[in-house]
Amino acid sequence: MKLENDKNCSWINDLNPRTNIKVLNTNEDCDWLIIGAGFTGLSAARKLNQLNPSQKIILVDAQLAGEGASSRNSGYLVDTTLNDGFTSNKELENYKKKADIYKLGIESVKRFIKEHQVDCDWNECGKYFASSKTEDRRILENFSETLLKLGFEHNILTNNDLKSKLGTNFYNIALHTKGGILLHPGKLVRAMIDTLPENVNLYENSFLIDWKKTNDIINCNFKNGTIKTKKIIFATNGFLKSLGIKKHYNFPITLTASMTRPLNDREFKSLGQPKEWGVLPVRPMGATIRMTKDRRILIRNTAEVYNPYKMSKSELEKRSIQQKKGIKKRFPQLPDDIIQSTWSGIVSRTRNSSQIFEKLDNNIFVAGCYNGSGIGVGTLFGEQIAIRASDEHTKEIEIIEARNKPTWLPPQPFLDFGVKARLIYERIRARSEI
């Protein structure tokens, strides 16, 4: 089995290629092994080293560190979300629990950035939940009540305001939340790699094939080597299920995104020269669309059940056409060939959109499943699962443990059938917003 990502992600290609990549081709022993080097695994490694500086820590990834979903996302560090089913008043208590976790996630990322003086195009400009459908005002007004009760600053905007802020008259109604940050995910995750403590041994392009616990030792087999470890943390997010972890509680979903080249002066003027902004859809399958600091437009408007290990060039091309249409609908004046790159990435979902944070067995831990909030929550959960695995306790762990736990999923083929049917239904509901 091999994980083969496309090489197209603009966030990754903005950065200098890394050197000194070590592949595992020996047999190793360690105190701690972390599988998966995205926001979760990198944060876990950093924290483990602080707590256990004299112990041997190994971090392994099947591809280059950070080049999974952690680089391939839309770059919203969220304080609130709309599309996770918790917007009715009845669910206020649950919504608050989620928002408390998002807040801790933002604080974790902020602490990291401050400590290491990271430049990741951090912009505290908030975000819009926007729709072209005026009837979606009702959804936004309900959401506004929830936000009001929880003290989140926000306001509702209509067509003309939106046109001047976003440079398109596609949207008719939106709710802007003041909290929430836009950033360059590639730069953030690269900073986490560059600042890994020396005591963390990072192996890349090294795929974990299988693992087994015998007595108190966990034996892990990779293509060209093995690792025996006393404790293990699984941080493989969309690939938890394929490693047999919590397999009745999570499943992978493939997303694709496209980014344009930077708009030239004339094109940018035709949009009214808006400041950087980010829009999330009001309806779950609508498009996420963002104007970056350097005038590029990012769009993500697909989510599907697909082989998580690889998407072919021709399949990516098909999604790119969808994304071209999405851009054209909003910015008809821009040329047809403006998309520079299209890439795919894998997220992990649970039935009730809750996250996984657990001790699976003695010395075996897992954190993952953040849907569209893994920048902050992944960073937080990585740190906190390392603390929990080191037998320590924090107020953050208490808040995480108080969340609703993921609920059981039906077995295959019912699961795939159910998920596909739901995605088709949501896509039809959101067809004008794609």
Ligand X SMILES: Cc1cc2nc3c(=O)[nH]c(=O)nc-3n(C[C@H](O)[C@H](O)[C@H](O)COP(=O)(O)OP(=O)(O)OC[C@H]3O[C@@H](n4cnc5c(N)ncnc54)[C@H](O)[C@@H]3O)c2cc1C
Binding site for ligand X (CB under 6 A): 3, 35-41, 60-63, 68-70, 72-76, 78, 207-208, 235-239, 243, 255, 257, 300, 345, 347, 368, 370, 372-375, 378
Which residue, 137 or 389, is less far from ligand X as judged by CB? 389
Which residue, 271 or 347, is less far from ligand X as judged by CB? 347
- Sign of torsion over alpha carbons 240, 244, 250, 251: positive
Which residue, 70 or 260, is less far from ligand X as judged by CB? 70
8 A C-beta contact, residue 274 and residue 166: yes
3-state secondary structure of 56: coil
Which residue, 37 or 120, is less far from ligand X as judged by CB? 37
Which residue, 130 or 137, is less far from ligand X as judged by CB? 130
Distance in angstroms between the alpha carbons of the first and the last residue of the chain: 34
The percent of the chain in helix, strand and coil, each rounded to the nearest 5, is: 35, 25, 40
CB of 120 to ligand X, least distance (A): 13
CB of 306 to ligand X, least distance (A): 12
CB-count exposure of residue 90 (10 Å: 0-12, 13-18, 19+): exposed
Cα gap 272→167, rounded to integer Å: 6
Which residue, 95 or 381, is less far from ligand X as judged by CB? 381
Which residue's Cβ has the minimum distance to ligand X?
374
Going from the C-alpha of 222 to that of each of 4, 187, 255, the distances in angstroms are 16, 29, 27
CB of 6 to ligand X, least distance (A): 12
Which residue, 71 or 267, is less far from ligand X as judged by CB? 71
Which residue, 238 or 267, is less far from ligand X as judged by CB? 238
CB of 350 to ligand X, least distance (A): 12
CB of 360 to ligand X, least distance (A): 16
3-state secondary structure of 380: helix
Going from the C-alpha of 179 to that of each of 107, 175, 249, 295, the distances in angstroms are 12, 12, 31, 22
CB of 323 to ligand X, least distance (A): 11
Q: What's the chain's Rg over C-alpha atoms?
A: 21
CB-count exposure of residue 129 (10 Å: 0-12, 13-18, 19+): buried
- The pair of structure tokens assigned to 196 is 């890994």
- In the block, residue with structure tokens 């009745």: 248
Cα gap 372→353, rounded to integer Å: 10
DSSP for 409-429, please give it.
Answer: -PPTTHHHHHHHHHHHHHHHH
CB of 185 to ligand X, least distance (A): 7
Within the chain, what is the greatest distance between any pair of CA atoms? Answer: 67
CB of 31 to ligand X, least distance (A): 19
Which residue, 202 or 235, is less far from ligand X as judged by CB? 235
CB of 190 to ligand X, least distance (A): 13
**C-alpha closest to that of 125 among 88, 83, 171, 76:** 76
**How does DSSP classify residue 239?**
G
**How does DSSP classify residue 259?**
E
